[in-house]
Structures are given as C-alpha cells and as structure tokens.
Amino acid sequence: MSFIEYSNLIQDGDVAIVHLGHNSVTAVKVQHGAQTQTRFGVIRHSTDLIGQRYGCKVTCSKGGWVHVLHPTPELWTVALPHRTQILYTTDIAMVTMMLELKPGSVVCESGTGSGSLSHAILRTIAPTGHLHTVEFHQQRAEKVVEEFKEHRVDHLVTVRNQDVCKDGFGVTGVADAVFLDIPSPWEAVGHAKAAMKKHGGRLCSFSPCIEQVQRTCQALTERGFEEVRTLEVLLRVHNVRPVTLQLPDFGPDSSSSSSQATEEAPPSAAPNPASLKIKTTTPPREMPGHTGYLTFATKPRT
C-alpha cells in the first residue's frame, strides 16, 4: 500500500480507509490479531481485512457492513487526526492547479500541520518530484515524519523542524513552487523567493484574514513578484430530491370543436394527471462560508 501507488489486496501494515457511511470514514492501521470497533460491530483484521481486495464489503460482528477503501489524499483529508486546522479538497484542488504542479515538480511548503495538503502535493509530483516541508512545532514535525513513512511516501519528502520566517526552507534555487500557510507569510516571502529556481515559479499563500492578505501582497510586490491576485473558493453543493408538481387545469381546448375532440380521443382515454413527479436540485439552506484567502503570485524569470 502506498498513497501514490495502487494495490489490489489489503496487507499487514497497510493504512486502510473504512467507509462507515455518508461523510463517515476512518483510517485504520491493519495489523495481524488487531480489531477495530465500529457502530456495526467488530472488524477482525486477520480474517476480515488481510488478503481481501480494496473496495470490498466487510460484514461486522453485529451483522452490519462497511466498505474498506484504498487510501487516497482526498480520503486522508477527511479521515486524518487533526493536529491543526487543515486545507480541504476545495482549496487543495485550486492550489495544485494554480501552482502548476506536475510529476517532477519541486515544492517548498510551510507549515506542514496535519499533512492534508502535503499528501495531495506528493501524489501530484510523484514519482520524480520532491517536497521540502517546514514545520515549526517539534511534536507535529515528528508525527508527520512517522505518517510519511507509514504511508510509504517518505522518499519524496524532506521534513524540517525550524522557523521558516527566520531560517527559510533549508534549500536555495530548487523550487518550482512555494506554499505558505503560516500566521505571518509576509515575513517568509524573501526566503520563498530564495528557494525558488532562477527561471521563475509560482507562490501561494493561504490566510484567513484580509489584513494578512494585504501585508502579504505588499511584500510580494516589494520583492518583485508579478501577477499578484487573491481569490476565495466557496463550495455550494446541490441536493437532488424528488418533487411533485401540480399540473394546472386550463379547461377544454377552445381551438377545436367538440365533435373533433370526440372523434380523435378514444372512449377509454384517461384524464390528464393532476400532478407530475420529477427530480430536481435544490441548494442548501446553509452552506460553509469563508475558509481562507488564496493569494497567488509569479516570480519573474531572472
């Protein structure tokens, strides 16, 4: 099992995603002799998981069942243990696209946090790219190193426990893209520019407050970055549901005579239905609002 390579069978030591229901998933470390408790009963790893195919339906001890899925960055985002606030798929998709990431890209990231974005970046830049990620908090840095090894992507990433605003990313002139998710990103703009390749590159800064965005944009402009723009991604999910529409009764058709209507309509013709059932989409009454502002900029070629 690897987050960047698909496997057919569940093996001892894998991290599997147990799908319990809509918006209910959990990550499980598969081990011989271990058990996982769910609301549907016990899952026994040795008999219920190991050797089974990913995507299979597993019956629990109480008779209920779950699906066991292969891990992906998207599933990990909704199943990971939160050590910090994280980026979700809506923002992650925009970040990876606007930073123009592709296989072989070299990326610098700060801070690592819970590793939600990190896994998406690694899947995008594999198999020949590399991620240099910086985390200020020592315990979080140590934990994410363990997760990268467990998920078998550690060969694609270097984790540094340091203050990016003071010490930078630990590399110079190598990055195709830089991502900043720190309280004062304007203090790291100089280090970000130094880490980027001479032929240019893209930078993204994630900030929840517009005051942070203003100071970051000013720092980017002073450092010579171009195409500075800030955007906000809002997700609006429409729900599909059946509805019954009442059909209006306009009375008889006055354009045709009663004799013609009698001749054309068969004696057993049923009257027009009074209602019609259709499927329609409706927006939610409430939707998640602001998550953060994404500021993008381009380093000019030098």
**Per residue in 207-236, pLDDT tens?**
999 999 999 999 999 999 999 999 999 888
How much of the chain exceeds pLDDT 90, in percent?
77
Domain match, 27 and 108 both: no
Q: Please identify, among 34, 50, 71, the residue that sits at the C-terminal boundary of a domain.
A: 71
Domain match, 137 and 47 both: no
Domain match, 43 and 83 both: no
Please check whether residue 75 is in contact with residue 69, taking contact to mean a CB–CB distance below 8 angstroms: yes
Please check whether residue 296 is in contact with residue 203, taking contact to mean a CB–CB distance below 8 angstroms: yes
The tens digit of pLDDT for each residue in 188-207 reads: 999 999 999 998 999 999 99
Nearest to 196 by CA among 219, 168, 162, 222: 168
Residue 41, pLDDT score: 92
Residue 264, pLDDT score: 55
Instruction: Evaluate whether residue 240 is within a structural domain.
Output: no
Domain count, the chain: 2
Residue 257, pLDDT score: 54
DSSP the chain: -BTTB--SB--TT-EEEEEEETTEEEEEE--TT-EEEETTEEEEIIIIITTPBTT-EEE-TTS-EEEEE---HHHHHHHSPPSS----HHHHHHHHHHTT--TT-EEEEE--TTSHHHHHHHHHHTTT-EEEEE-SSHHHHHHHHHHHHHTT-GGGEEEE-S-HHHHTTS--S-BSEEEE-SS-GGGGHHHHHHHB-TT-EEEEEEESSHHHHHHHHHHHHHTT-EEEEEE-----PPEEEEEEEEPP---S-TTS-HHHHHHHS-TTPPPPPSEEEEEEEE--SS------EEEEEEEPP-
Average pLDDT over all residues of the chain: 92
Domain match, 85 and 67 both: no
Domain match, 31 and 87 both: no
Residue 17, pLDDT score: 97
Instruction: Evaluate whether residue 264 is within a structural domain.
Output: no
Range of the structural domain that residue 140 is part of: 75-234+289-299
Q: What is the mean pLDDT of residues 132-152?
A: 97
CATH code of 30's domain? 3.10.330.20
Domain match, 173 and 223 both: yes
How much of the chain exceeds pLDDT 70, in percent?
93
Annotated binding-site residues for S-adenosyl-L-methionine read 114-117, 135, 163, 181
Residue 287, pLDDT score: 75
Instruction: Evaluate whether residue 62 is within a structural domain.
Output: yes
Residue 266, pLDDT score: 56
Instruction: Evaluate whether residue 251 is within a structural domain.
Output: no
Instruction: Evaluate whether residue 252 is within a structural domain.
Output: no
Residue 167, pLDDT score: 97
Domain match, 143 and 116 both: yes
Neighbours of 26 (CB within 10 A): 14
Domain match, 186 and 91 both: yes
Residue 268, pLDDT score: 52
Give the sign of the dihedral formed by CA 117, CA 119, CA 123, CA 128.
positive
Residue 163, pLDDT above cutoff 60:
yes
Domain match, 16 and 94 both: no
Residue 33, pLDDT above cutoff 90:
yes
Q: What is the mean pLDDT of residues 106-124?
A: 97
Q: What is the mean pLDDT of residues 23-41?
A: 93
The tens digit of pLDDT for each residue in 249-285 reads: 777 766 655 555 555 555 555 555 688 899 998 887 8
Nearest to 220 by CA among 198, 246, 201, 239: 201
Domain match, 36 and 55 both: yes
More confident residue, 302 or 119: 119
Whole-model pTM: value is 0.85
CATH code of 93's domain? 3.40.50.150
Domain match, 115 and 205 both: yes
Q: Please identify, among 19, 45, 71, the residue that sits at the C-terminal boundary of a domain.
A: 71
Domain match, 85 and 224 both: yes
Instruction: Evaluate whether residue 113 is within a structural domain.
Output: yes
Instruction: Evaluate whether residue 253 is within a structural domain.
Output: no
Place of tokens 């549901």: 241
More confident residue, 259 or 23: 23
Residue 276, pLDDT score: 87
Annotated binding-site residues read 114-117, 135, 163, 181
Instruction: Evaluate whether residue 281 is within a structural domain.
Output: no
pLDDT band at 3 (very low <50, low <70, confident <90, very high): very high
